[in-house]
Amino acid sequence: MGQENPFVYGEIVTAGAFADREAERERLARDLAEGQKVFLISPRRYGKSSLVRDVLRGLSRQKILTVEVTVAASSSYVGFLEAYARALVTADTPIGRLRRWTAELLQAVRPELRFDSPSPGGPSAGGGVTLAFPAVRTARDTARLAAEVFALPGRIAAARRQRLAIALDEFQAVVSFDGGNVEHALRAAVQDQRAVGYVFAGSEPSLMERMLEPRRPFYKAGPVMRLEKIDEELFAHFIEARFAASGLRPEPGLGAAIVELAGNVPYDVQRLAHETWDDVRVAGRRSAGLDDLHGTLTRLLGEHHTAFEESWQRLTLAQRAVLRALVLEDGRELMSGDVRTRHRLPGASSVQSALAALVRQDVVMKAESRYTVSDSLYREWVARKTF
């Protein structure tokens, strides 16, 4: 059997696939175990969800009950409350006790529990469970349901005499459900749950930062963690070490070139390393170098050409011009007169509007004082295929 590719992207990864992040993992695990309410803010593709999942796995081994819900997966406020309640009541609950446990915890809001078993023998641990609240029809009903669901973690911790750690991923999505009411209701519930740790994780930094401003419910509600880029030298060494451990000798500078070409974005670094490893292995070679890397990049750009061209065509002419200037100027000084003249850009206010639109479309993200293209492959396509 051939050696497995040591680089993983596009899915939740285990601790072995992490480069660095030890300090972040230790801090988050400690805070959650102590019942802190932590806000984890990270740009997309930085490995936030994998980090949270890995921490929860470790806490579970310490007999802490863990629950994870992706807020953005729900299409409505009630849908989110149903998903959250289901995750809470089913966490480490024997299937035979689930119906009684649910009724005891949620009797005030009359839940409807359904079992979708994969076999004709009835409900089993492998079958699906659906939790719904069909009696909820009005805004007042929804507010009452929210109060009950948000109080559940504290009640479960008390009933089981067990600490809980809860991850609400893509937490910024709550603002789309019911204005500020969700934030107020959730903050009121969690602030007294001493035996329950929360991580409110979000990948839209600007939205998450606004949720923590003065006069917002979560202002000073708990510690804030911001995922930064991994040290470039450390990341490059990690890449080369994993090439070597898998039996492929990395030529000098390969790791640094992959990190630089991928913009030091963890997802993009792992993707480029994964694809390069695959190409070298398929070619039957025992070493990987810069020529292999650029061959892989050329292949990937060809495979993504149609999707990137469609994305480019959806942009306005002003947005295209600003995006191309951003790529060529490394995201800096885009409002300056020199840059606007050099790239035939409109006035500074129009450039700012175009940048804001690109950020909203997740084409571009802003980190500190510069803008970057969210997908490093798209950045390379823009640099090579547009004019």
Average pLDDT of the chain? Answer: 91
Give the mean model confidence (pLDDT) for residues 271-277.
Answer: 97
Residues 33 and 138 in one domain: yes
Q: Check if the beta carbon of residue 169 is closer than 8 Å to that of residue 52.
A: yes
Which alpha helices (DSSP H) does the chain contain, by range?
22-33, 48-61, 77-90, 98-106, 139-160, 175-178, 181-190, 205-211, 232-245, 254-261, 266-282, 290-303, 305-314, 317-328, 337-342, 348-360, 376-385
pLDDT digits (tens, 9 = 90+) for 275-313: 999 999 999 999 999 999 999 999 999 999 999 999 999
Does the structure show a pLDDT above 70 at 235?
yes
Residues 208 and 96 in one domain: yes
> Which residues, 6+ apart, have CB-to-CB distance to 105 below 8 Å?
89, 152, 155, 156, 159
pLDDT of residue 300: 97
Q: Pick 255 or 127 by higher pLDDT.
A: 255
pLDDT of residue 1: 40
Domain coverage including residue 347 = 305-385
pLDDT of residue 116: 73
pLDDT digits (tens, 9 = 90+) for 305-347: 999 999 999 999 999 999 999 999 999 999 999 999 999 999 9
Using the Cα atoms of residue 331, residue 335, residue 337 and residue 340 in order, give the sign of their dihedral. Answer: positive
Q: Which residue has the tokens 């930062």?
A: 209
pLDDT of residue 259: 97
Q: Among 177, 206, 226, where does a domain finish?
A: 226
Q: Check if the beta carbon of residue 285 is closer than 8 Å to that of residue 295.
A: no
pLDDT digits (tens, 9 = 90+) for 143-158: 999 999 999 999 999 9
Give the mean model confidence (pLDDT) for residues 338-360.
Answer: 94
Residues 134 and 278 in one domain: no
Confidence of residue 128 (pLDDT cuts 50, 70, 90): confident
Q: Domains in the chain: how many in total?
A: 3
Q: How far apart are CA 21 and CA 83, in angstroms?
A: 30
pLDDT digits (tens, 9 = 90+) for 76-118: 999 999 999 999 999 988 888 888 888 888 888 888 888 875 5
pLDDT digits (tens, 9 = 90+) for 259-268: 999 999 999 9
| Residue 5, domain member (yes or no) | no
pLDDT digits (tens, 9 = 90+) for 188-209: 999 999 999 999 999 888 889 9
| Residue 4, domain member (yes or no) | no
Confidence of residue 13 (pLDDT cuts 50, 70, 90): low
pLDDT digits (tens, 9 = 90+) for 29-81: 999 999 999 999 998 888 899 999 999 999 999 999 999 999 999 999 999 99
pLDDT of residue 117: 56
Q: How far apart are CA 89 and CA 251, in angstroms?
A: 52
Confidence of residue 125 (pLDDT cuts 50, 70, 90): very low
Q: Residue 225 is inside which H or E element, if any? A: strand 224-226
Residues 171 and 253 in one domain: no
CATH number, domain at 217?
A: 3.40.50.300
Whole-prediction pTM: 0.85
In percent, how much of the chain has pLDDT > 90? 75
Q: Among 199, 226, 253, where does a domain finish?
A: 226
Does the structure show a pLDDT above 60 at 123?
no
Give the mean model confidence (pLDDT) for residues 148-172.
Answer: 96
pLDDT of residue 339: 94
Does the structure show a pLDDT above 60 at 119?
no
Residues 283 and 153 in one domain: no
Residues 37 and 112 in one domain: yes
Q: How far apart are CA 302 and CA 31, in angstroms?
A: 45
Q: Pick 132 or 116 by higher pLDDT.
A: 132
Query: What b/e readout covers 303-319, taking b as 16+ CB neighbours within 10 angstroms?
Result: ebeeebeebbeebeeeb
Query: What are 272's two structure tokens?
Result: 């480029």
Does the structure show a pLDDT above 90 at 385?
yes
Q: Among 226, 246, 262, where does a domain finish?
A: 226
| Residue 58, domain member (yes or no) | yes
Report DSSP state, residue 2.
P
CATH number, domain at 243?
A: 1.10.8.60
| Residue 36, domain member (yes or no) | yes
Residues 372 and 239 in one domain: no
CA distances from 203 to 45, 141, 169, 300, 374 (A): 8, 31, 9, 25, 12
pLDDT of residue 126: 40
Q: How far apart are CA 200 and CA 69, in angstroms?
A: 10
Query: What are 303's two structure tokens?
Result: 């495979």
Q: How far apart are CA 98 and CA 91, in angstroms?
A: 10
